[in-house]
Amino acid sequence: MTKDLSVLSRFATPATVLVLLLTGCGAVGGTAEETDPMEEPTLGACRNLVPEDIAAHDNGTPVVDCGEPHTAQTFAVGTLPKELSGNEQDLTDPALGKHVYETCSPKFQGFLGGDESLVMRSLLTWAWFRPSEDQWEAGARWYRCDVVAGTEDSEQLRRLPKTAKGLLNGPPDDDWMTCAVGETVTGSEKVPCAEPHDWRAVTTIQVGKPADPYPGDRAVEVRTRDFCSGSVGAWMNYPVDYEFGYTYYREAEWQAGNRRSICWARTDE
């Protein structure tokens, strides 16, 4: 899955478009499961995942006490529907990911608190995994969704509090909001906004309704760019000149259910 990001001056034309990794959902990897692999994973369990885990299809990182240091917490578990989980079903079929995305995305927002825009602009994201091939052949049909703070490109995942439930309730804590360090957002290091930074993710735009067909890359980009220009200007109290960036998502993410783009302001605040 990919995302495009253009960074431009308020009065300039788009300067760059690069492909980055989408962090809204993913798959998790690791070693053998610490419990019966045929049983549904435990809701609320904590683990110490590392960035490399997020790129794999299955994971068996041992559960740890949530009072101890950990980087992941399970916020949703479930069983894949029968129409998607036949014995001949390909474990990498996008239909599995679509089902989990549609199921875990609203649960993720409900678990953290805050609205969709706030959750999308936070450092917190989620990863999911399914049974291993051997477990699948033996009949396992569960999935697990974990909240993490970071991506597979991060040097390390951030430690979570004892529970991440309600972490974004109330005024957002800059320790968990996304900022960036660099001349442009593209390819820059993403950091907590509590740390020194050059860019902040300040708003999002809904570029379509759930039932809308994909309008095309150009239409999504134009809607995003035009909205972000005004939205970032308002956030910055309408200065004479300013820089803003935007992140928009293409058809694969649209088909998975995402309908939002992200607006960035160049600011050290």
Q: Which residues of the chain have pLDDT under 70?
A: 1-37, 87-89
Same domain, 204 and 257: yes
The tens digit of pLDDT for each residue in 55-90 reads 888 999 999 999 999 999 999 999 998 888 776 667
Tokens 């683990």 identify what position? 47
Examine the domain organization and report whether 95 and 78 are in the same domain. Answer: yes
Q: 77 with 182, same domain? A: no
Same domain, 209 and 268: yes
Give the model's pLDDT for residue 136: 87
In a domain, 143, yes or no: yes
123 within domain boundaries: yes
pLDDT, position 91: 73
Name every residue whose Cβ is closer than 8 Å to that of residue 24 and which is 6 or more positions away in sequence: 1, 101, 105, 120, 125, 126, 253, 258
**DSSP string spanning 128-161?**
EE---HHHHHTT--EEEEEEEES-TTSSSPPPP-
What are the tokens at 188? 């820059």
In a domain, 157, yes or no: no
- pLDDT (0 to 100) of residue 186: 79
CA neighbor of 37 nearest in space, from 138, 128, 127: 138
**Owner of token pair 């990919």:** 2
Question: What was the pLDDT predicted at 88?
Answer: 62
Total domains, the chain: 2
State whether 39 and 59 are in the same domain. yes
Check residue 87 and give its pLDDT: 60
Residue 100 to residue 24: CA distance in whole angstroms: 12
Alpha-carbon distance of 223 to 85, in angstroms, equals: 38
d(Cα 250, Cα 258) in Å, to the nearest integer?
Answer: 9
Same domain for 191 and 129? no
Cα gap 120→109, rounded to integer Å:
9
Q: Is there a domain that residue 159 lies in?
A: no
Q: Which domain holds residue 233?
A: 1-21+173-269
In a domain, 261, yes or no: yes
On whether both 237 and 141 belong to a single domain, the answer is no
pLDDT of residue 96: 86
Pair (93, 183) in one structural domain: no
Q: Are residues 30 and 142 in the same domain?
A: yes
